Structure formats: C-alpha cells, structure tokens
Amino acid sequence: MSSYRDLKEIAWECNMQLPRLGLVLHTFGNASVIDRARGVVAIKPSGLPYAELVAEDMVIVDLQNNPVEGKYRPSSDTKTHTLLYRSFASIGGVVHTHSPYAVAWAQARRPVPILGTTHADHLPCDIPCTGEMSDALIAGDYEEETGKLILERFKGLSYRETPMVLVAGHGPFAWGETPERAVYNCSMLEELCRIATLTLEINPDAPRLKQTLIDKHYQRKHGPASYYGQENPDGKTGGKQ
Ligand SMILES: [Zn+2]
C-alpha cells in the first residue's frame, strides 16, 4: 500500500470539491496538497475527468517536480504549484480553476476592486492581477514562468493576507494554510468576482469600500484581536472561517 495514501486522499477530496462547488467543467482545474515534513506534493493527474478520479490516481511529486509515485503524469500546472509552495512557506494547499467570473476578470486584465464587506472579510485589498508574460517566457518553461509572474505581483504584498490572484489572460490561483482553506479561498475568489461584476453592472461608478470599513471587517476576522466566530478548543478566537 502507498505510504502517501492519506495525502492522496486529502488531495482527491479537494479536487472533488471543485466540480461540486461549480468551479470547474470537464478536466479544467487542479488542487494540490503539500506534506512539508516529507517534501512532497499530491496533485491531480493531467487530463483525467473528475467523475473518473479515485484517490489512488493522485500523483506524488517532490518540490523540484520529480515524480515520486503515481501511474499518471501530474497536472500540467504542477510547476506553478510547486513554485508557490517553495516561495510561500506557510501554505498547505493550492487550487487553480477556470471558474467563469474569475477568468473574465483575468481576461479583462483587471484587479478586482474591494467594493464591499464580503470582500473585506477575506482580504484587505483588491484581488491582484498579474502582468503579461513575454513571448520568450511563454516559449520557455511556461508553467514555472506562470509561478514567477505570480511572485512578481506579490512583491510588496502578503500572501497570507491575500491568498488569491488572477493570472492575466488565464485565470485564478488560490492557496491557504490548509488544503481545505485553499479550496474555500478559490470558491470565495469566484464569488467576489461575481459580486463585483454585478455591482459594476448596476453602477459602473460604485465606490471602493471606505478604509475604515475595510479595516473593521478584515481585522475583526483576521486581526490579532479578532472576535468573529467561536472560540476554538485551543483557546484561540476562531476568526478564520
Ligand atoms: Zn489553467
């Protein structure tokens, strides 16, 4: 039996959440999970339909993208995932989808403005959008370069505060401290894009949320004195969900 069974099970469950949440069609999208102690990542195999996936199909690679275990090739986006794991030290999962509202904003090359408190409950700034990739880089190590494009955009931004990004012309990536949180963040990313689209349809001049409200909503959930939610068993306030 595989010694990576538990990791594959978690990765499979995260991947299977994506169609359930309406975030993927056909074979699009992929979720991965890292075991930092063992230095390996479990990720969806490339091109397999979700309906046919079983946990054992998940592919194990190391952080340099070398195959460790699995009968299939890993997702073609694996190098983007592993670069994010190497660069963002505290993340436990990465999710990529082609969910329609997030893709629409990525194709429009627009960061998603922070217009309301639903957005501020999750991140204290606009959802960032990367720059364009040059032709030379597209012809090179494309998926690695996609990761670098994200890192470039996060210069001066906290990946902990902003666990999501739009890759220009492509689509969303999200991450989280846990794989489950990465799935949640990717679904919220789609929802925030949808809400922003509707808001700007109703009023193209809708203002950004006031900074005092951004601070209030972000800090009450994520700040040092967060008070949203229930006490966790370990005594910390449960501001995360
Ligand atoms: Zn993609």
The predicted structure's pLDDT at residue 75 = 95
The set of catalytic residues is: 121, 228
Distance CA 112, CA 166 (A): 9
Centre of ligand 1 to C-alpha 143, Å, is 10
pLDDT > 90: percent of the chain: 89
Confidence tier at 104 by pLDDT (50, 70, 90): very high
Report if pTM > 0.85. yes
The predicted structure's pLDDT at residue 232 = 55
Centre of ligand 1 to C-alpha 88, Å, is 20
Q: What is the mean pLDDT of residues 160-187?
A: 98
Centre of ligand 1 to C-alpha 203, Å, is 31
Centre of ligand 1 to C-alpha 1, Å, is 32
Quick check: 236 pLDDT over 70? no
- Structure confidence by residue, pLDDT tens digits, 153-173: 999 999 999 999 999 999 999
The predicted structure's pLDDT at residue 2 = 85
Quick check: 235 pLDDT over 50? no
List beta partners, residue 129.
166
The predicted structure's pLDDT at residue 183 = 98
